[in-house]
Amino acid sequence: MRIVLLGPPGSGKGTQAQKLGRNLGLPHVGMGDMLREALKNRTSLGERAKEFMDSGKLVPDSIILELLGERMKGTKEGFILDGFPRTLEQAKRLGALLEKERENLDAVINLKVREETILRRLPGRLVCSECGKVYQRANLSSSTQRCPSCGAPLLSRTDDVSDTLKKRIEIYLEHTHPLIDYYKKKGILQDVSGEGNPQEVFDRIVKILN
Ligand SMILES: [Zn+2]
């Protein structure tokens, strides 16, 4: 099965992707993790990505797609993709990449969460000032002050966190709207409520996939 998980920052998307990967025996391919790994291992793609990151630029799609292509070579049985695609352009390029391998996506899970719910989940969370990734304080070592995914400072004061998150959610919705339409037209989009506890959300996803 080839599954894409979509959801705004704070929707619990990463947690669900991990759970789903374990449950279905499929690799969880997180874009942030993949990039971090490439940087750590100093692969040639990682080095190229680093140049952009060091100069404060976004890593271009072409590099991300190459990374993804490499990663997917070992995933004939399928994958859970989390953090990619983020734009319509990326979705089309992912489609082309899969088509080349005569593969296609089975489902795109769109986690829907109300903004109030995301903000209510905030106490004890840290949010990245740059990429908007949300972390549980308990899951990071106490000395961590920077985003493990992109290296930017983490915000912990509730008002900073909520301002940053509100902005991130807005940007997210703006960018993913065309993406969601695109997958809807392909007939593979599945809206799933992200309200409730992680197990409840997980049960909903599994029910839809069965
Ligand atoms: Zn970050």
Q: How many whole angstroms from 185 Cα to the centroid of ligand 1?
A: 32
Q: Where are the beta strands (DSSP E) in 102-200?
A: 107-112, 125-128, 134-136, 154-155, 189-193
46 is in an annotated binding site: no
Q: Taking the domains of the chain in order of start, what are their residue ranges?
A: 2-117+176-209
Tell me: pLDDT of 100 over 80. yes
C-alpha to C-alpha distance for 154 and 145, rounded to whole angstroms: 6
Q: How many Cα atoms within 13 Å fall on the side-chain side of residue 202? A: 14
Q: What is the dotted CATH code of the domain comprising 2-117+176-209?
A: 3.40.50.300
- Of the pLDDT bands very low, low, confident and very high (cuts 50, 70, 90), residue 163 is confident
157 is catalytic: yes
In the chain, the percentage of residues whose pLDDT exceeds 70 is 100
Mean pLDDT score of the chain, rounded to an integer? 89
Q: Tell me how far apart the alpha carbons of residues 196 and 48 are, in angstroms, rounded to a whole number.
A: 41
ipTM: 0.97
Instruction: Give the pLDDT confidence of 49-69 residue by residue, as tens digits.
Output: 888 888 877 788 899 899 888
13 annotated to a ligand binding site: yes
Q: Yes or no: say if 162 and 168 are a contact pair by the CB < 8 Å rule.
A: no
